[in-house]
Amino acid sequence: MSIDFQTARLDEDCIAYNDELQGTQLELELFKRTNLKNKNIIVIEKNKIICLQLSFILKKIGFNVIKFCENIEQGFHIFKQIHENYEEAIIFLSFFSNDSSIMKTIAKILEINAHTKIILLKSPEKNILTNMVLMIGVFDILEIPLSMPKVTSIIEKIKQEYHDEKEYHTQNIIQLILSTRKNINVLELSELTGTNSKTIKEFLEFLESSDKAKNIGKTKMISCNNCESILVEEFFLCPNCNLEKFTQKDLIEHYSCGNVSLEKEYKDEMCPKCKKLITAVGVDYRKIHEYFICNECKEKFSEPKSMYSCKKCNSEFALTSAKWVETEKFLLINESSPIKNNSKQASKIIS
């Protein structure tokens, strides 16, 4: 289903943010509150029986997107892909030995998104690293053998942080906007998502720190002189009758009689007014390219009248009556962008 961002009342389905929201790790505030069951599940586990059991339980609960990995490297790669698509994942990670390398993996995941829910799958035996992984940010421990009550209990804990699965659409809106734009500015993204501009600026700065955006400076924008919305659309009118019924055509002006008519009206190179033949461009006539003719009042004009319409309150106003606002603009950088590749070489940052 397509979304008309300029006319939809997006604020009804988006999160109301507090102006005092701080920090640059904004995945929690901007992305975590979508429908929980639509989130990606990553299971990093070699044991196929455990995978089958967990898959059965998760599907019973209602999860549909479940990805299974046999090793940490594959799981981490999938996690990064999900994160780069501005989505979140819940990770079930095998933890059956005193392997200290698992600490590094957990730290890498939480460094990318500190709010990722990591659930460790472990046997009932004591493990000296259990308390340590909980201290560094693991969400919970799921002991083998698996059961529906055990898994459900953990999912219920996660639900408490997602406001009872209320379906906020902020994540989907932002993801769609960013995937269809080359650039975006703070005020526009703020208004489209119903999120305060301070939070949006911090989010875009976070993308910049992750080498996914670049601040290209400030830009001026027109805003509505009635409600101050920047979601305005320019439209054009005939300057004589103020209607939008005009077309763009080439004209011919005959010097001797002053007639100006459509080129097609000079049939057989004869002026439709004085009936004289036109002979040479620049001598007795000239061509006027891309002129405008009103289909209603027949007025001819070189430039249409420009007006603006507010998508929020439907007010119409001229450029001279518009309010001007200043905002910061960000260039969005994808993986294949030359800007990103050059930036990577310069800073040696691996996102």
Handedness of CA 79, 80, 81, 83 (dihedral sign): positive
Last residue of a domain, one of 150, 165, 180: 165
* Residues spanned by the domain of 244: 239-303
- Note the pTM of the prediction, 2 decimals: 0.47
Q: Which of 121, 144, 165 is the last residue of a domain?
A: 165
Q: Report yes or no on 250 lying in a domain.
A: yes
Cα–Cα distance for residue pair 174/194, rounded to 1 Å: 11
- Rounded CA gap, 171 and 162, in Å? 13
Question: Which CATH number goes with the domain that contains 129?
Answer: 3.40.50.2300
What was the pLDDT predicted at 208?
Answer: 85
- Supply the CATH number for residue 270's domain: 3.30.40
Whether residue 130 is contained in a domain is answered as yes
Instruction: For residue 112, tell me if it sits in a domain.
Output: yes
Q: Which one of 118, 142, 165 terminates a domain?
A: 165
Instruction: With beta carbons less than 8 A apart as the criterion, state whether 41 and 154 touch.
Output: no
Residue 285 included in any domain: yes
Shared domain for 247 and 142, answered yes or no, is no
* C-alpha–C-alpha distance, residues 300 and 253, integer Å: 12
Locus of tokens 């703020």 = 190
The predicted pLDDT at position 35 comes to 58
Residue 151 and residue 244 in one domain: no
193 and 168 Cβ atoms separated by less than 8 Å: no
Same domain, 148 and 46: yes
Total domain count for the chain? 2
pLDDT value, residue 96: 57
Which pairs from 262-268 meet CB under 8 Å and 24+ separation?
Answer: 262/293, 263/287
Task: Please report the pLDDT score of residue 126 as a whole number.
Answer: 66
- Per-block average pLDDT, block size 10, for the chain (351 residues)? 34 30 35 60 93 92 89 91 82 74 86 88 72 80 90 85 49 71 89 82 83 90 93 94 90 90 88 91 88 90 92 93 93 58 34 29
Q: Please give the single-letter amino acid code of residue 231.
A: L
Instruction: Give all strands (DSSP E) within the chain, no chain letters.
Output: 40-44, 66-69, 89-94, 117-122, 140-143, 183-185, 213-223, 232-237, 246-254, 260-262, 285-294, 300-301, 305-310, 316-317, 323-332
60 within domain boundaries: yes
In a domain, 217, yes or no: no
Question: Are residue 43 and residue 131 in the same domain, yes or no?
Answer: yes
Q: Does residue 350 sit within a domain? A: no
Say if 316 falls within a structural domain: no
